[in-house]
Structure 1
């Protein structure tokens, strides 16, 4: 909790919410004094948010959708950015039902890191499109022929930054109110495409910042009559949208750094890296949880396609950033902008800490383009959400690290997403087959 914040009961209003499996913030508005009472005496929330798909269709037919025990985490208190005298706090389920929460899984891995003597710092960076569309216009157009904001956009464009400075000053102000630091903000590749690397934070705050950034960026731009798009792949002619994850460990200094090593990496970094490389193909569905995500993980979409690593190599799944010992870190480049940040953190830490525990050694780094390499079958990423769910279900190591209950629930939720997709007839299929058969 930020030091200059008043006590929660001093706020007139309090917004309290939980993140669902897709990272959407499901919240309630209440009086500040009621939130203080619930934080002290107990809180509950409907369990449906971990039992519906991205279209809010319930997929577990055996539930009565009851209120389950939850905890309001008072250390997450922030200011609400869209009005005075209001605060925000994050809650999560406790007990047996809390095992299903990606945020709780990330917290468990952070506790494990602490027990091993490590402090974790991390940050996400997000690419997103802005559309000059509203919910009404999107539906009127049936989500086709969409109007991009800043159509003449170019990567690192001074013109776009100057033309739309007021809009992004407003975004920065919203995030500052929420205590979310923006390391920078710039234009990216494509019409209306922008990138926001978040400032580094300790522990769970890094994932909380990322999840809140996405939710509140969408809300802010909606208030400006615009639609922000964080989905993995908006259009086949445009690049995919990344949500890269930077992470480092500290133990009496930067634990990933060894200035005497040729690559600047310590044995700890090599072991962490080896665990991540070994497990990311079978745990990929934790960071690529939508059907759409696999349309980004293809050659030519500025995204990795297999479990590779390299020093300062942006074609790899893991890029080592080693400019200085203090800044030495792992950049996990697989996550998309729509990945659940708590699931990303849980995956990365679980796999990396496993590598340290097992004393694993990574393969040699990729020095050229990773797209030019033919990887071993075990290093390839699943081709779609179906295969990815199957890989996680069959992973004994993932079950050991995350637990059977969480793995089975996540797999079941992804299969329901696939089931709905497979009933859909796309424009591509109509154009391809209607005059042939």
Structure 2
């Protein structure tokens, strides 16, 4: 790495938070002083490989593993200001070599490089819906994660009243994220008590996924510091709508000209845009586990939950898996509506970009657009989604195209992690089962 990168740590920076995103997009980090961070930029970094050997609850998969330190690199272009006080910075790192092939972020970097070799650059952004609870970790545990106490209980979608009443808190959130280098395109209330949405500013390349992953991690930290809890689950309750993590993407050529738009096309889409869209729709059913990687994600993808249920598309149609937004040629883009609030942004962006580029290379053609509600259509089996994580993981593991795009190392690792997640859920008895099968009169 170039010594020029060391200037990123100014004399005012005394310590650096070095972190790696795990498969669930949790930022696993260590705090070091600046002198050590500068040394690690030169010599390389190491991190325990356990973060690729456990689940989000930190239960390890294989008792025979020895959990050694693996070589990593720090990415100088990811250095940002620590938002909770002066004199500190953060930097993103990741594993290198063969072990690094297991990383979603490294897979995304490969797809970005591939796009560049094809003459394209990606512009992208995520938008997240999330709940805010008037709860702390202690109160959540005391109540067994039931009888949740919501912040802004009488919240309404796009509510002026909520915005006015809670403006100081959300201005503070906005300032926190701006310090971190994460910009909001907007911020508004959403459907449900204590529900808010934060569409992020579109940025080029990997920064779009980095921004999204950092936003979720630091939003949780921000609200915790405020005595509250931010929730990024796909489905918090059967009585509430699901929480989305929609992903917007467009391609430009190397001169910066958008390539998805064609004003003369009835749908406003160029041949390149159609092929990109066709690739996503063709590969989505067999690779659904990549953007929908949690057990909870499949409880959101049901009719009437503002989430797609099969590989469909439409122009401005929010009932479809992919929505084409064509208001203006320069901002024509694809909104991938499958991913939910708990999605790993690096995995989702890697999938969408890989599938779209595959579509361009293969000349994929999308099926006809859905004009009416996609919920009223009964799709054929080839376009239907797997109904649970176990089925989705199995289909991903059997996909020769997924292995061609991402490699056996990543697919085997990711599928194993999802199968373990599904097996962990399968052995638990839910409150619904108790109420239904105890047969209490």
Alignment TM class, shorter chain as reference: over 0.9
Taking the TM superposition and a 5 Å limit, the aligned residue runs for 1:135-154 are 135-154=137-156
Q: TM-score, normalised by structure 1?
A: 0.98
Q: Give 5+ residue unaligned stretches, structure 2.
A: none
Taking the TM superposition and a 5 Å limit, the aligned residue runs for 1:30-429 are 30-251=32-253, 252=255, 253-429=257-433
Equivalences, count: 434
Q: Secondary structure at the match of 1:92?
A: strand
Q: CA deviation at 1:9?
A: 5.7
Q: Secondary structure at the match of 1:194?
A: strand
Following the alignment from structure 2 to structure 1, what is the Cα–Cα distance between the partners of residues 70 and 101? 12
Q: CA-atom RMSD, angstroms?
A: 1.3
Following the alignment from structure 1 to structure 2, what is the Cα–Cα distance between the partners of residues 426 and 412? 24
Q: Secondary structure at the match of 1:99?
A: helix
Deviations 1:349-372 (A, max 9, x none): 111000000011111100100001
Following the alignment from structure 1 to structure 2, what is the Cα–Cα distance between the partners of residues 358 and 339? 27
Following the alignment from structure 1 to structure 2, what is the Cα–Cα distance between the partners of residues 351 and 56? 31
Following the alignment from structure 1 to structure 2, what is the Cα–Cα distance between the partners of residues 191 and 263? 36
Q: CA deviation at 1:54?
A: 1.4
Q: TM-score, normalised by structure 2?
A: 0.97
Task: Tell me if the contact between 1:9 and 1:35 (Cα under 8 Å) persists in the aligned partners.
Answer: no
Deviations 1:247-278 (A, max 9, x none): 00001411101111111100000000000000
Task: Tell me if the contact between 2:19 and 2:93 (Cα under 8 Å) persists in the aligned partners.
Answer: yes
Task: Tell me if the contact between 2:8 and 2:76 (Cα under 8 Å) persists in the aligned partners.
Answer: no
Structure 1 range deviating more: 418-427 or 264-273: 418-427
Q: Secondary structure at the match of 1:281?
A: helix
Following the alignment from structure 1 to structure 2, what is the Cα–Cα distance between the partners of residues 146 and 190? 13
Q: Which runs of 4+ in 1 moved over 4 A?
A: none
Following the alignment from structure 1 to structure 2, what is the Cα–Cα distance between the partners of residues 42 and 402? 25
- Specify which of 10, 14, 17 is matched with residue 15 of structure 1: 17
Q: Secondary structure at the match of 1:263?
A: coil
Task: Tell me if the contact between 1:8 and 1:33 (Cα under 8 Å) persists in the aligned partners.
Answer: no
Q: Secondary structure at the match of 1:23?
A: coil
Deviations 1:35-85 (A, max 9, x none): 011011110000000110111001033421000000000110000000111
Q: Secondary structure at the match of 1:169?
A: helix
Q: Give 5+ residue unaligned stretches, structure 1.
A: none
Task: Tell me if the contact between 1:9 and 1:32 (Cα under 8 Å) persists in the aligned partners.
Answer: no
Task: Tell me if the contact between 2:8 and 2:79 (Cα under 8 Å) persists in the aligned partners.
Answer: no
Q: Secondary structure at the match of 1:246?
A: strand
Following the alignment from structure 1 to structure 2, what is the Cα–Cα distance between the partners of residues 205 and 338? 18
Task: Tell me if the contact between 1:9 and 1:36 (Cα under 8 Å) persists in the aligned partners.
Answer: no
Q: CA deviation at 1:33?
A: 1.4
Q: Secondary structure at the match of 1:156?
A: coil
